[in-house]
Every structure is written in structure tokens, then in C-alpha cells.
Amino acid sequence: MVKWISLRSSEPSLKVRILLEAQNKFMKLNISFKEKVLKIVFDIKRGEVLSYRDIAKMVGNINASRAVGNIMAKNQDKNIPCHRVVRTDGGVGGYNGIRNNKKGSESKIYLLKSEGVKIENGKVVFEK
């Protein structure tokens, strides 16, 4: 099953570590919100996912989930693994890429499954 590197982790020390790492790495940088989001997404490893909300928290604005989604929707850089960003409820959300002759969320599901992410009924199955 997929490793949910979420701030929703039941392990408080893990939540604090993830937040502090993100703040230390990105908050001090004199770069735009968009650049911070793209740097966080670039660092998501194969087989792992983050939610739009988690990324917004890491950048310092929990209310910016939609802005994160808009950045993902407009991204054209194939080096940024946008497909590893999902909705907070585990739904895969949208995707602007085409892979293996599949478009949109079908393409995103294809990519996530190819990385070992388990998906059932259009939602990521998380470890408990």
C-alpha cells in the first residue's frame, strides 16, 4: 500500500518533523508560492503521495489547497510529478497529462498504479 506522507499521521513527532523540515527548507527561501509548491512536489518520491492541503500547509497557508491544485493543473514541466498529489479524501483528482493513451484522471491512476500505489474505486488506499 501507498505511504501517505501526510500531516494527518497518527504519530505526532512525524507531523512535527515533516512540518519543520518543510518550513526550514522552503519558508526561508525568497521564492514565490508557486515555486515553493513545485519544489515540494518535486521531492515526493515514487509510491508516495501528498494531498493538496498538505502541500498548502507545508508552504505556510492551509487555506491555499485550491491554489495548489491550480498550480498542478497548469504545470507543464514533466520533471514535476503532479500525479503524486491527491485530494485529502484520497480521491485522485484531476491530471493534465497523457500517459499510455489515457487522459486526465485515468492517466493519473495509471501512473500511480505503475509506482505501486493501490487504488480502489478511484481513491488511494492508505496504510493504517
Q: Reduce the DSSP state of residue 98 to 3 states and report it.
A: strand
Sequence spans of domains, the chain? 3-124
Close Cβ partners of 86 (under 8 Å, ≥ 6 residues apart) = 49, 50, 51, 52, 92, 93, 124
82 is a catalytic site residue = yes
* Model confidence, pTM: 0.77
pLDDT per residue, tens digit, the chain (128 aa), is: 344 454 444 454 555 566 566 666 666 667 889 999 999 999 898 988 999 998 998 888 889 999 999 999 998 888 999 999 999 999 998 887 766 566 788 889 999 999 999 999 989 987 65
Query: Of 2, 58, 82, 119, which residue is the catalytic one?
Result: 82
CATH architecture assigned to 3-124:
Orthogonal Bundle (1.10)
Q: How far apart are CA 78 and CA 62, in angstroms?
A: 26
Close Cβ partners of 3 (under 8 Å, ≥ 6 residues apart) = 47, 48, 127
